[in-house]
Structures are given as structure tokens and as C-alpha cells.
Structure 1
Amino acid sequence: MSYNIPDHLKGLNDNEVAASQKKYGYNRIDTAHKNTGLELLLNILKEPMLILLFAISAIYLMTGDYGEAFFMFVAIVAVSAISLYQDTRSKKALEALEKLNEPLSTVIRNAQVVEIPTNEIAIGDLSITEEGKMINADGKIVHSNDFSVNEASLTGESLSVFKSSEIEDNKVYSGTLAVSGLAVFEVEKIGAETQLGKIGRSIQDIKEERSPLQIQITKFVKWMAVAGIIVFLMVWIFSYIQTDNVIESLLVGLTMAMSVLPEEIPVAFTTFMALGAWKLMREGIIVKRSSIVETLGSTTVICTDKTGTITENTMHLKHLYDYQSDKIFDEKDFGDTTLSKLIDYAMWSSEPVPFDPMEKTLHKVYEQTQKNDARKDYRMFHEYPLDGKPPMMTHLFENKERHRIIAAKGAPEAILDVSMLLESEKSDVRKLIKSFGQQGFRVLGVAKSNFEGDDLPREQQQFRFDFLGLVVFYDPPKKGIQDVFQHIYDAGIKVKVITGDNTDTTKSIAAQAGIVNTAEAVEGKEIMEYSEEQLLQEVEEKVLFTRMFPDAKLAVVNALKKKGEVVAMLGDGVNDGPALKTAHIGVAMGSKGTEIAKAAAALVITNDDLDRLIIGIASGRRIYANIKKAIQYIISIHIPIILTVSLPLFLGWIFPQIFTPVHVIFFELVMGPTCSIVYENEPMEKDTMLQKPRRMADTFLNWKELAVSIVQGLVITAGVLFAYQWVVQNGGSEEKTRAMVFTTLIFANILLSLTNRSFHYSLFESFKNKNILFAVVSGSVIIMLFAILYIEPLGKFFHLSGLNAGELGIAASIAAISVLWFEVYKWVKRLRQNDTETSGLHSLESYIK
């Protein structure tokens, strides 16, 4: 971006910057406390599972079982290391996101305009701010160009305020937003010394709202924790009645509590969300809150802008219509002298330092076609910013001789309304506008006025304008955008186009982009006149919303939310802020998006490519599916552990303490990584983006899914207890029985983790989804099992004996039968689904006939 900055504004040099930063520090507000490594470790040591391990270790020390006590301490270190690794991994991912989210600021240094990280702004810097950008320090305006600012973040006043160096109110403040124009201000306060910094702590302390899934999982874990306490007390009392030994009974009870506690679940959730956000960052999607990743997968409606999202935002000037000659000129004829006045006033009605692609194009065409460049001779002394429904803008320039130029441009309807034309003449122009619009062109009207006095009208519409003609731009749909929308429709997601452009242009571009149901459209002014019932019906039926302004956009988003939709709103302008903030998922464009849009949005697409949002939605669905798989796996494998610990005791079997804390903690060390590391790495199943979005209000496990997991756990329990009785009936010792039960459960655990990779596709189909971590974790567990079985010191420590090949085969067979029946269940389920789909297709064919 090039700026026409006065030559006398040089800014600080490098030495002055260094001296300022040394004296006053950096532009940051360090109010949020960040946990150190030691604090993270202390927080981990407060976890219920580790408290249980400490209690068991203490009991072993009291009873003189030093080997078991040492193993428990090793387990404490191992569990802490895994948790610390997960927390650190999540923390680093979130810190990387936070760093990427930090905006850049534009300053003048060494007489050059440069962009720097916002935290490097120094007192004395000359900072440049412009339309749509957030102001990042407090300061005094030294140069401005029709500059206005919204200070609602500090004052609560929603109306923008015009400011300049020439008036008393010449201060700008960090956290406020530039609404129009441009300003250069000298930085006077930074960081905690700014107005925002003084109230920064209260802002930093606002807690992030938890997602529905987060709330549901927390409730589930609390419920399981309460169940663990109740079962612990029952087992402790029951064991004490039988043995009359408080310490031994307490040990049995604590073993039971360990088997019930699902501490893997919250760790898994945090890991999935943080790493999901980090992976999206690598795809060019900056996620501001990690919990939004889960919400992405629930998206049911995408509300998208047209310009720059569906189209390339190139704004190529295709035609010029000169009203005086009543001729349409193609681009090869733009040098015709007939067009001189139209091109002249189209440029003067643009910003002197253009931001908008259309205005940049008009400046460029002016340079190429006009012999004398008069831009340096004229100074803009007043501007009427873009306003009205439909909108227009007017600029007033004056040179040293007091010769004035008053130029206006805007929506053709707005310019026609203020022009001194007969109604019949306006009607002819409107036909032309409609014809251009139907071809997908973007059309602006241009007009001029004369006014000699200093008592300017309050509103630009009060000038008497002469209509000069039309400037006609073509902004073609992006390449491949049809495929993007097809992916959206395949995923069962609706599309709504919300744009400030006119109806005809929007219809044409939407049809070219592959958007369906574009025959009808509704305009913003109609939206505001609807009753609530009418509005709910319109947002359900209509796809195109044109001539939209902030209040109308907000009304559409709120109506869609009221209909139960999960709304992703794409926007890039100042006017999109309210709708972005209100939507479930506000999506800002990284390249062309304004700072206010990025501040209001929940995620930012760095390259403005709508296809990135599809990747984000797919990632959200993958993460949600994998969280469910991980939790169902945890539920299923916890059931046989719980029942194998408790049933022999309650049923009075010969070996009531078949598992001790040593065995349970071994299972916990196996389950933790499987749940939170292996399943997190699981790829998306092949038909995930061909399914309808899930309802966000749904519980993460419905009763049917929960029942499936419970049945899986009960069948594995039956297999494990069968192995127990088989050894006992064949005269096996306690060590042999424990070895058989332990081995069967380990094999079942490995097979369960594999078969639960998909609750639809077969185990063999799932192998096509490469996940090396399954092989690594499963291989490591088998090696450890064999070490325990066949290395004598380890076998003695775990109180079990080795198994021969036949016994090992029986354990593997029992585990396979206990788990792989689920493959038959999935096969039958697929057959029924195929029959239903075939039947539905036949019914549809009969209906059509």
C-alpha cells in the first residue's frame, strides 16, 4: 500500500526507537498470567488419579511393599510426564495461534512507511491508521484526511466522531476503530498506560464461553467421578466386612476408584481442540478460540459475501457509459476525449489514497487517459462518507485559485435519485443498468455538482447533481468456485449470499458460481420491514440477499439462529462487524479483511479462499468424530476393568483380588496415549463430508451410542471372566489366572482400539486410513506384555506367571471373539442401510413416474 504522506513527516530513526523502547518499554498489556512449567506440573499433581496414586504409594510404604511403592512412584512420574507433554503441546499450539493473531501496525520510521508488530510501537512513533483498522496506541493526530473514528469500546457511543489535527478533539485511543479516511498520529502512550490498558485487566479477565460439547463432557466426567466415590466406599466397606483389615480393604477400594475414574477424557478434549486449531493454522485458517473447532463441524448455513469471496475482487473496468453522448465505450476506447469528464469525476469521487479495488482501478485509468494529472494541485477540504440506502459518497476538492470540484459516485439508484433528470430519462438509464447487472457487471453512477458558498449542505443528497454516466466493472467468479460450492452442498450445508451489490449482478454471479435457487432475491430494505414470522420464512426460503446494510445483515443472521441453524458468517468490512460477532462462527478474510472484521471474527482465512472454510468444517467434523471414538473406547475398556476388579470380590470367587493397583495403573498408562494421542491423529473417514451436519444441541453420545459402548464393554468382561474361570476350572494358580485375565484384557484393548476406528466401516477398510501411531502404541504394549509374562522379575512384580503358546492362543482367541463380534454388527448395519437407500431410491423413482 502506498501513502501520500506529507514530506515533513519523517518519524523516528532506529536510535530514537531503541531509546524510546528502553525508557518506556513495549506496547503490550501483560495482565494475563501465563503458567510456568512448575505451575503446570503442580496443577497436574492435583489431578484425582495422581492423588489416588500417592495414597496407594503411601499404603504400600506403610505395609513394607517397597517394590509396589516404587512402581507407583514411577507411575506417578509417567502419568505426570504424559499429562505435562499433552499440556505443553496444547499450550505451544495455542501460543503459536496467539502470536499469529497479533496484528501488524503501519508507522513512519526513517522517513519510510513500514509495517511492524504492534507490540513494537514506541512512544514518539508516527503511526498511520485508515478506514477499517484498529488503533493500537494513544496519540495526537498530526495529519488527517477526512478521518472519523468509532470510540464505542471506550465511551459506549456507537456513532463515529470526525477528528483532525486542526480541532480541539485531536486525540486517538488504543482499541478504537477508524471508520473512514486516514490519519497519522504521534504515539503518546502505549501498553498499560493507554486508556484501554487501564481497563485492560477487566477485559483480560473475561472468561471464554465453553462450547456445548465441553459442558457435556465436564458433566459426564463429574458423574463418573461421583460414581467412583460411591463404588470406592462400597468396595472398601464390603472388603473390610470380609477381611477385617482396614489397610487391605482401603487398597482394594482405591484400586476400584482408579478403575472407575475417566481422567483421560478431559485431557483428550483439550488436546483434540488445541491440536485441531494448530493444524488448521497450518492450512491457512487462524482460529482465535480452540473450542470453535468443534462448532465448525456443526455448521448448517454459510452466509457469504460476493465480492472477493465468490469473485476474484479484481474489479476490471469493462465499460464506460457517457450520458451526454448516450454511448457505451469498451476498454479499448477509454482514451476517447468524450469520456474525459466522466473519468475525471469518477476519479475525484474516489479516495485520494484509494483502498477499494474499484477506486484503485479508477485512479489507474485516470493516469492512463488524462494528459494533465491535477491530483497534486487540489486538496480535498470536505467529504461526505459513504451513506444512504442505497449508498453514495461525495468529495469536495479545491485548488489554490479556489476552483472547486464536487464529485459523487455510488449505487446507480442513489445517484439517479439525486440527479436532475426527468423520470423518463432515469427510466432509460435504469434499463441500461439492469442489462449490465444481468451480465454480472458491477455498476456505479457518477455525478458532478457546483456550490460556491461555505455553508455546505448537511447531507450530500441536498446538492443539485448533474448525472455524468456509469462506470461498469467486471469481477469474475474465482476459478474452481463451482467445485467449492458443490462440496458445501454435498456436506448438507446451505448457502446464503449476503451482499451490498444489486440484485441483477448478484443473480448473475451466483449462477456462474454454481449456487442453486438464485431465481429470487430479497433486498435489505425489505428485510427491515418484515414481521418476525415473515423474516423467518424469508431466510429459510431465499438464498440471495442484496443491497444489504449492517442492520439487515444482523437481522438475517439472528433469524437463521432462531431457526436453529449453526451459522458461519463471512465478512471483511467495517459494516460486517456486528453480524460476524453474532454468528456462531464469524469468519474474516485475512488479505482484504479490515481489522474490525478480524477483531469480531472467531477465525480468519489468511488467503481469502472459501475452500479453506470447507477444510475447517471437515476438520471440525473429523475432530468431533474422533473425540466420540476416543470416549466410546474409554467407556468400553473401563467396564471390564471395573467389573474384573469388583465381581470376583462381590461374588466370593477363589481369587478376589485378581487385579491390584499395579495392574490397573498399567492399563491407565496404555489407555491414556491411545485415547488422546492415537485417536487425535486418526484421519477423517471417507464419507464424512457427505453426511448432514450434526445438530449442535445433540449430546456427544446419544443413548444408542452409549448402549453400544456398554455392550462392547460387557462382552469383553464376559470374555475376560470366562478366561478367569477356564484357568480356575483347570486347576490354575492365582498367578496363572491373573496372567490369563491380564493378557486377555490387553489383547482385547488393542483389538477394541482398532475396531472402534470406525463404527460403520470394517476393520480392514479402516486400515486404509493410515495412522502410524496405532502400530507404534499397539506394538509397544505387546512388547511390554511379553516382557511382563516372560521376564521373571517383572512377572513376580506383577504377581503372575508366564503363559505357554496354547494359553496365549486361547487368550488371543477369547479377546478376538469378545471384540470382533462388533465387525459382524457393523456388517449387518451396512447391509440394512444399503437396503434402506435402495428402497428409498425405488420409492423416489415411482413418485417421479
Structure 2
Amino acid sequence: MQSNEIEGLNENQVDESRKKHGRNSFTHKTEYSFLKKIITLLTEPMVILLLIASVIYFITGSIGDGLFLAIAIVLITAISLYQDSRSRNALAALRALTEPNCKVMREGQTIQIKSKELVVGDILIIEEGVFIAADGLIVRSNDFSVNESLLTGESLPVYKDANQADNLVYSGTTVASGLAIVRVSAIGNETKLGKIGKSLDSISEEKTPLELQINNFVKKMVFAGTIVFFIVWAINFYNSRDALDSLMKALTLAMSILPEEIPVAFTTFMALGAWRLMKMGIVVKQMKTVETLGSATVICTDKTGTITENKMSLAGLYEATQQKITNPEDELSLEEKELVRMAMWASEPIPFDPMEIALHTAYAKMFAVDERPLYKMRHEYPLGGKPPMMTHIFQSNAGDRIVAAKGAPEALLNVSDLSADSKEEVENAITLLASKGYRILGVGEAIFSSDDFPAKQQDFKFEFKGLVAFYDPPKSNIQSVFDCFYTAGIAVKIVTGDNATTTGAIARQVGFRGAENSISGDELMKLTDRELRLKVTEVSIFTRMFPEAKLKIINALKANNEIVAMTGDGVNDGPALKAAHIGIAMGKKGTEIAKQAASLILVDDDLEKMALAVAVGRRIYANLKKAIQYIISIHIPIILIVFIPLVLRWVYPNIFSPVHVIFLELIMGPTCSIIYENEPIEKNTMLQKPRPFSSTFFNGKELFTSIIQGLAIAMATLFTYRYTVDLNYTEAVTRTMVFTVLITANIFLTLVNRSFYYSIFTTLKYKNNLVLGVIAVTVFISGFLIYNNTSSRLFRFESLSFMQLGLSMGIGFLSVIWYELVKWSKRNRMEGNSI
């Protein structure tokens, strides 16, 4: 089908249409509301507690305390809005990158644009695998069918052409086969999809296991805080009969229990992780993929364009009558040139596949007279069958007809009437060409004069013309990529439509493990589920694959409790990409259907980026775990220093008030979200096996570590409290020393927990410029609060002597640094086991 007679819109017409009809985007979904976000923040449990405490302070005449808490509310709201803004900006950038492209004719040129740039009147070119971005009227088509299940619920494709009553295509549907030229009639909200409000944005994502674990943990802590709040309020009210004072003490304890930093940290880590991946050329369509990346245990990769360059060059010819293999660069006979000509006619008239482009290029070099403008396509049989083949029927104005087919050599041999001896010669040629790593197509020609075309292309009587072989060289970096996966404990499987010999040859060239064993799609389909689960473990190369076979591989691996990543680019890869835990589409050669089905897109079609993505996924998970362990550890001493003096009625029961607790909360939030999110990957991360995806985030061993660290700091603060009381220090000095112990412990806990394996001397060398900045700010503000007269009165502090300050800092340091001995012991055990 030729499209060069259609000019399309010019720039002025595009501008006029856009002014008149707007942009091609949906506006059903409620846009982000700043006021709504403020209201949401003000209903957070911590903010509600702060508001109540602030009001009580104002009522009781403690204006300074009330103002501080009011300012704290503003600060918490501002920090939350800033974090939310960073997350939204990151996700907005991702949405822009994942927006489908479309192909249009403008001013006689075929160009690619973002779907939102489409305007009414545009000439849209849509082909197999494309996501249709607007409603339109079919101008021309060849063997064109559309999957309209999104609108109708009907899964079978609907065949359409310009002469039918139903000659419209609709936004949101996908092209199942063929090619069409469409004039856009409606965009955005005016499309059929827009009018019924079925925007894909309205579909809410399910919460991930990690997200559910975090939400459940926070809910339990909120519930515990509520119970403790009422118990402490009742005890104090019973003892003092002062409702407001009792309420204030209960509020202080409730504030210390709420771990509101954890959900914020999770959202920030995931959104910024997706943003970091985007900057590396890896587009993550769903935030949950970031969480899954570090768990991948198996990667199923295509061969063409993933392992190889996808830069096909015609490397060999086998003409059936001459029965010899020829180099296309040599002097060719008329029969060999005719083989190339027939292979070209079997290709798309507007080629986009690298092999078809190579055939069109070779044809143009071999023939002085170009026949292509003289012929138009009469009928097309898209790629189909097992093994697959495709057939094109062209006819000239003079009535001359060409029926040409190409596809897997086995497919052409099956529909040709070659003798047994001739078939054996062809199979020998296939083996020889495949052993060099060449990709091979069979070519056939049929004579058919009737206009009553058969239902299936296999019903034609084909003459086998020969073989065309292409060389697609392996990517220069692919061996190091495989080595990276192997080192990280990730198995690699090649799943391809090519034959076993060609795939094995390429696999051996790049140092692929398991290149000697393979299984075909037909063989795989005969296996029982139990046999298949065993086979997918043993075999690493799967050849002559088709959609059902690919899907069975993915499901068998999942049944073996593997976390599966799958690369794909074609229409037929859609089901497997959707079934995989991590569906990976190629940004350049991937069809829109593949991109829609996938959860991750490699912009440059470079598998090395997948290795980087796994590393980033592991880094994000490890850093989020460090942040949450830090939050749990530092909350324990705050809870106990508020709770124990209060319940045991020590001499200074109200050692910390809400102003102290909220100040500590303001320090902890930035520490966990800013420092830990920016931490680099630890050097042993990619040497470890993938973590089990089903493992709980708060597992017993790690939770025990956090609790022990928290209790050690709590013991240090309580020891400081009792020590100062025994020395008859004033309440202000006691409070200041306990506060200094907590701040010092907070700083060193941040440094120690940067790694639960390597020493603090190693982690100090990590490149994270934010560590020094956050610690410096913490030290400066803490010193200012203690030694500035105005702030020290507000916080009821008293300036410490050099000895008191040094003692407090020393206790805080010792309460945390002991964990370095645990890490030292762990390293010694690991090194001993590796000998």
C-alpha cells in the first residue's frame, strides 16, 4: 500500500486545528488540588495531635510553646508538600515518557509524534501492534483488523476497510493485523473512549506486598498509640485531677509512638527511584516495579535486537535450482537476483523490519529498473501459522500479478512440493547457514489469477524459490551484561522465534551459559505441567517460540517460585510481558502493544540498562530498609524516655513535652528520607542472590536488630536521667543532657546504619554529600537551642558545662557504636566461610 500520494496537514493547518479542537488528552480525572492536599495533611494523626497540643498550650497561657507547635505544623506541612511535589514531578515526567507515539503524514513526510500532539484532520498511519491514539476514518487499508475489547468487551479482532459501513477506528483500541491510513476525526474527550469516560488513568493500581506491610505496621502503631494515649491520660488524671495537664502528657507519648515518617519514606524512595531510572534511560510505568526489580531471579530475553544489534545485512543466498550458497556481494545469476526480488515482494511495501529493509536495499542495488511504483497491493496475509509465514499479493495496472511469501524455512518447505532429495539439500543449507549465526528466511512464489483468494495462505501452491540469510552481529557489551546477571545470581533464558542452530551459534559467540541445550515451542507444548516446570529449570534456550509457548514458559517459571523478568517487542509478546513480574519492552523497536503490556521500557533497547535497573532496585530496597530500621530504632528511646518517668512517677516525670518530641521528629524525617534515599549501592549488593519476593519486609532478625539498637539508646538516655538525678542536677540540666544523648545517638545511628555489614570507616568514604550537610545542620540547631537564651527558655534547657556536654555526647556515642563489633564479627564469619 503506497501512502506517498497523501500529503497530510501542513504546520499552519495543524496550529489552526489545535486552536479549534484542543489537544489529544483526557481531562476526566480530577487534577491535583493543592487545597485537597492541605486538607489531607491536616487530617494526619500527627498533625491532629499537634493541633490539640498547640490549643492546650494557648489555653494554659504557654504562648511560646503554642507558637512553636503552630510553626511545627507549618514546617511538617511544607516538608510533606515538598516531598509530594518531588514525587508528583517524577511521576509526571515518567507519564510523559510512557505516552504512546504515533506515525503521521505531514507535508508529504512520515514523522513520529507523541499521541497528545495529534490534531483533527491528521493523516494517521497505523500498523500491526500499534495503539490507536484517536478516532478516525479509514482512507486505505490492507488486511486490517482491530481489537476493540476495551470498548466492546469482544476479544476477537474486527476486520475493517474503507468500503465497509463500519470504516471507523477508535482511540484506545489496538491494531491486530495489517496496515491502514486513517484521517483523524476526533481527539481527547470527543473520542468514543473520551465520551464514556474510560480513561486508563482512572484505573487504580493495587497495593504491593511491601506497601501493604508498611501500611499494616503503621496502622498497628497508630492503634497502639491510641490505646497508650487513653491509658496514660487516665492514670495521670486519676493522680492529678488536672484534665489539661493529663491530656498534654498523654499527647506527648502518643506523638512519640506514631512512625509517620515510614509511609513518606516509602513513597519518596519509590518515586525518586523511578525518576533516577528514567534519567538512566529506563522508564518505569508503575512504581511497584521499582520494588520488584531487586528480587528478579530469571531474565527471559529475546535474541534479535536484545542480544544482537538488530542491524540486518544480507549475508547469504541459497537458490533452489542451483542448490548452492552464494555471497550476495559476489556476481549473482539471474535466478539468484530473482530470489532477492521475490523476497522483497514478500515484504511490506513500507518496510520497518530490519530484514525487510535489507531486502528492499538489496533489490534497489541489483535492479536498474524499479518496479515498485508500478504495483499496488491487492491482498495481504499477515505473519501467522506454526512455523510462521506471510504472503503478499501485488498487481500492476497492466494486470500482472505477483504472489510472494516468506517466513520460517520450515513453513515454506511445508507448503512447497519439493522432492525428498531437494528438501534434504535445503535442510543441509539451513544447517550450514545457521551454524554461522545467520537468521534465515524461506522464500516462495505462487501463480494465482482468480480474485477469490483462499482463506489461508497455506492453501496456495507455492514454488520454493530458496533461502535468504541475514547476519545480525551480537552487541559488543552483551557478554559483560550476562556476566553481571550471573554474578548477581540471576539466571538468563533466551526465548526466540529463531531456530536452534542460529540461536546456539550466537549464544556461543557471546559466552552464554547453557548454549548446548535447547527446546522448540512445539516440543514444549507436548510436556505435562510437571515436566515443563523441570524443563524450564534445566534448559536455557527456547527456540521457534510462539505466544502460547512463551506464556507457558513464564507461568512455569512462576510456578517454580521464580521472579521473572521478560523482554519483548512484538504484538505476540504482549501476553507474556503482562504475565511476567517485570515485563520489559524495547523503546525503539517495541510495538505500542508491547509497551502497553510491559511495566518497564528500555529506551535504547540496551539490556545492560536492565542490569543497572536490577542494581538500582536492590539499592532502593536496601536503603528503604535502612531508613525504616533507623526510624524504628530512634522511636524506641523517645517512647521510653517519655513513658517510664511518667508511669513510674520519677522525680521529673515530664522530662519531654510535645515541643521536644516534635523537634526530634523534624530531625528524623529529613534524615531517613534525604540521607538514606541518596545512599550509593554497597559494593557487595550485586554479589548477593536476589531476595525472596515473598519475604516480609519486617523480618524477625532485622526487626530484632532495630529493637536492640533502640533499647541500647533508651538505656543510655535513662541512665543519663538517673545519673543526673543522683548528682542533684536541676530538671533543666537533666532534660538538656538527656536531649544531647538522644541527638548524639541519632547522628551516630545514621552513620552506623549506613551499612549493616561494612564498618563505619568504610561507609564514611561513600559518596553522599547530603550526610555532612544534614549532620551539620542538626548539630548547629541543637547547639543553638541549648546555648541561645531565648530558645533554651522555650525548650526549658540549661547551658551545659564542657564536662556535662562531653559526658552526654560520650554516652550517646557508646549507645550506638557497639554495633560496629557486631558487624566486625559478621565480616569475620563471612570471610571464614568463603575460605
Within the candidate set 23, 35, 39, 1:38 is matched to 35
Name the residue aligned to 1:751: 748
Deviation string 1:725-772 (CA, Å, 9 cap, x unpaired) is 111111101011111101011001100011000001101111121111
* Matched ranges for 1:687-706 at <5 A: 687-706=684-703
Q: Which deviations, in whole Å up to 9, do the C-alpha atoms of 1:256-280 show, x marking residues without a partner?
A: 0000000000000000000000011
Which residue in the other structure is 2:557 paired with? 560
Partner-residue secondary structure (3-state), 1:29: coil
- Match for residue 570 of structure 2 among 551, 570, 573: 573
Question: What is the letter of the counterpart of residue 134 of structure 2?
Answer: A
Instruction: Report deviation, 1:4.
Output: 4.1
1:286–1:202: structure 2 CA closer, same or farther, 3 Å change rule? closer
Whether the 8 Å CA contact 1:740–1:807 is kept in 2: the answer is: yes
Q: Are residues 1:280 and 2:277 paired? A: yes
User: Aligned-pair RMSD on alpha carbons?
Assistant: 1.4
Q: 1:178 aligns with which of 172, 175, 178?
A: 175
Aligned equivalent of 1:807, options 797, 804, 807: 804
- Work out which of the residue numbers 446, 449, 468 in structure 2 matches 1:449: 446
Letter in 2 for 1:5: S
Q: CA deviation at 1:371?
A: 2.5
The residue aligned with 1:55 is 52
The equivalent residue for 1:225 is 222
- Supply the distance in 2 between the matched residues of 1:157 and 1:423 (Cα, whole angstroms): 45
Between 1:166-175 and 1:301-310, the stretch displaced more is 166-175
CA shift at 1:334, angstroms? 5.3
Shift of 1:637: 0.4
Equivalent of residue 657 in structure 2, options 657, 660, 683: 660
Matched, 1:421 2:418: yes
Equivalent runs, 1:103-502 vs 2, <5 Å: 103-201=100-198, 203-333=200-330, 335-502=332-499
SS in 2 for 1:331: coil
Whole-angstrom CA distance in 1 between matches of 2:331 and 2:583: 41
Distance 2:815 2:375 in 1: 86
Matched, 1:596 2:607: no
- Separation of aligned partners in 2, 1:202 and 1:349: 39
- The equivalent residue for 1:672 is 669
Does residue 629 of the first structure (1) align with residue 632 of the second (2)?
no
* 1:827 and 2:834 aligned: no
User: Contact 1:131–1:182 at 8 Å: present in 2 too?
Assistant: yes
Render the CA deviation track for 1:37-62: whole Å, top value 9, x for unaligned: 22222221211111110000000011
Find the counterpart in structure 1 of residue 782 from structure 2: 785
- Indicate if the aligned counterparts of 1:224 and 1:261 stay in contact, CA closer than 8 A: yes
Write the letter of the residue equivalent to 2:697.
Answer: F
- Which of residues 708, 716, 739 in structure 1 aligns to 2:736? 739
Asked if structure 2 preserves the Cα contact closer than 8 Å seen for 1:501 and 1:547, the reply is: yes
- Aligned pairs (5 A) from 1:700-715: 700-715=697-712
Please say which of residues 432-441 and 412-421 is displaced more in the overlay. Answer: 432-441
- Give the C-alpha shift of residue 801 in structure 1: 0.6
> With structure 2 as the length reference, what TM-score do the two structures score?
0.98
* Partner secondary structure for residue 656 of structure 2: coil
Cα distance, 1:158 vs structure 2: 3.2
1:583 matched residue in structure 2: 580
Answer yes or no: is the 8 Å Cα contact 1:211–1:295 preserved in 2: no
Indicate the SS of the match to 2:757: coil
Opposite residue 40 of structure 2, the aligned amino acid is N
Moved more, 106-115 or 31-40: 106-115
1:520 alignment partner, one of 491, 503, 517: 517
Structure 1 counterpart SS, 2:821 = helix
Name the amino acid aligned to 2:269.
Answer: F
What are the superposed Cα offsets for residues 685-726 of structure 1, whole Å, 9 maximum, x if unpaired?
A: 111011100111101121011011101011111111111111
Residues in 2 aligned to 1:271 and 1:589: alpha-carbon distance in whole angstroms: 27
* Residue identity matched to 1:36: S
- Structure 2: gaps spanning 5 or more residues: none
The answer (yes or no) to whether the contact 2:318–2:429 under 8 Å persists in 1 is no
Q: CA deviation at 1:335?
A: 4.1
- Displacement after TM superposition at 1:472 (Å): 0.8
SS in 2 for 1:108: strand
What pairs with 1:612-623 in structure 2 (closer than 5 Å)? 612-623=609-620
- Percent identity over the alignment? 53
- Gaps of at least 5 residues in structure 1 are 839-849
Q: Could you tell me which amino acid in structure 2 is paired with residue 215 of structure 1?
A: L
1:780 and 1:386 map into 2 onto residues whose CA distance is 65
Find the residue that maps to 2:373 and give its secondary structure. Answer: coil
Which SS does the other structure have where 2:818 is aligned?
helix
Deviations 1:548-581 (A, max 9, x none): 1111111111111111111111000011011111
* Cα shift at 1:452: 2.0
Where does residue 844 of structure 1 map in the other structure?
Answer: none
Q: What is the number of equivalent residue pairs in this alignment?
A: 835
Q: Does the aligned pair in 1 maintain the 2:403–2:446 contact within 8 Å?
A: yes
2:302 and 2:494 in contact (8 A); partners too: yes
Which residue identity lines up with residue 788 of structure 1 in the other structure?
L
Q: Secondary structure at the match of 2:372?
A: coil
CA contact (8 A) 1:334 1:369 kept: no
